[in-house]
Amino acid sequence: MDTTTDCTPEVLRTRMVDQIVGARATSAPVEAALRAVPRHAFVPEATLDQAYDVDLAVITKRSSDGTPLSCASVPSLVATMLDQLQVASGDRILEIGAGTGYNAALLAHLTGPTGQVTTVDIDPDVTAGARRTLDATGHRDVHVITRDGALGDPERAPYDRIIVTVGAWDIPTAWTDQLAPGGRLVVPLRWRGQTRSVAFTHDDGRLVSDSVELCGFVPMIGQDGERSGPIDADGQVMLYWDADQPIDPAVLQGVLDQPQHSVWSGVTVVANEPFDGIWLRLTSVEPGTCRITATPAAIESGRCDPAIPSRSPALVEDASLAYLTLRRHTDDGDERRWELGAAGHGPTGPELADRLCDQIRAWAHDRTAQPLITAYSAGDSDDQLPSTNTITKPCVRLTVVY
């Protein structure tokens, strides 16, 4: 390990936790765990400064093409998800995704000597590394198991808490079955091209949310529910959508060459102000919500100009498309402002742009509002679900309601 730094691990760890606590509300038990567990011991490939960088994920394994396969998550996100989990002393906990073992060590600190922590990962290299580091740091009581995380660990079920530290596109039935009534599941769940850390409570066979936070994670192996394809001849503009959506990129070929209809919402944001809540709102009412990306060449040519080129929400309906965009507005004193709007293409592009702007305005009315997300079993009949937009996955059906 490169230890090039002017500070000791203890000083750097204190600084990291102080930054996390200063930026967001963190529970006292989670703060104590972050101060107690030496993160640098779990990421020996990183420098001390990297190990205690509050906003740095440390990649610990890559595929042959460089794609990240495992990592130590950003410390600030680790704190957020542990707060969502609401661990109590003595809890039985299942973690899906062993990573470096750092999160399991934090969980062991939170549960105390009367608790039980099990961490599961499909990759034997990952579990072997986690086992070694957990042993070396005094966490020998943590159970480390190599198996498909979708299966959970029925041998030690039921669990009071389940936390998933890989990106999940679905919620396997085993997780719900192994979660005690009233227990909590925290999962980085992906739908309609965006990922949220959702804290669910197990309520009469259903999972009901009470906390939703923006996040990003290495995807879980074996859950291939997202589709993608270009909508231009050069492959410079891509769409990403879910398997349950009737989106066909072939039908959309050339849509961006059709006249653009721009609609402006009158809603403005300042630099670095998050507006991801618009995307979340769209998933609650618009079945055609998906993700659009555009290369620098596509933007420079004027073909496509999404608000965030690498990840912006879009609406698709048959051969028509609208996507979130923005334009420079005015300077408000020392603050630069941008107005949010939508660009529509195709026969119903103008209507889609209007509908997207409706959701921009709804978001602006209460920018911190969180939806109620409910995960029903895929086997539940339609009359058991509210009459709202339903997101269908193999194991669960989601509703997102504001």
Q: Which active-site residues does the annotation give?
A: 73
The answer, yes or no, to whether the previous bond of 158 is cis (omega within 30 of 0) is yes
3-state percent breakdown (helix, strand, coil) of the chain, nearest 5: 30, 35, 35
Q: Hey, what amino acid is at 47?
A: T
How far, in Å, are 119, 188, 205 from residue 182 at the CA level? 21, 20, 10
Joined together, the tokens standing for residue 191 give: 């739908």
Which string of b and e fits 67-102 if b means at least 16 CB within 10 Å?
eebbbbbbbbbbbbbbbbbbbeeebbbbbbbbbbbb
Classify burial at 308, counting beta carbons within 10 Å of its beta carbon; exposed 0-12, middle 13-18, buried 19 or more: middle
Going by C-alpha positions, the residue among 327, 331, 241, 252 that lies closest to residue 286 is 241
Phi-psi label, residue 226: left if phi above 0, alpha if psi -120 to 50, beta otherwise: beta
Residue type, 212: V
- Tokens read off for 312: 């912006």
Pairing state between β 396-401 and 372-377: antiparallel
Distance CA 173, CA 168 (A): 13
User: 361 Cβ partners below 8 Å, 6+ apart?
Assistant: 265, 266, 267
Q: Which amino acid is at 362?
A: A
| H-run or E-run covering 250 | helix 249-252
Q: Please, what is the angle between helix 75-85 and helix 9-23, to 10°?
A: 60
Determine which helix (DSSP H) or strand (DSSP E) holds 282, and give its type and residue range: helix 277-285
Cα–Cα distance, 348 to 105 (Å, whole number): 53
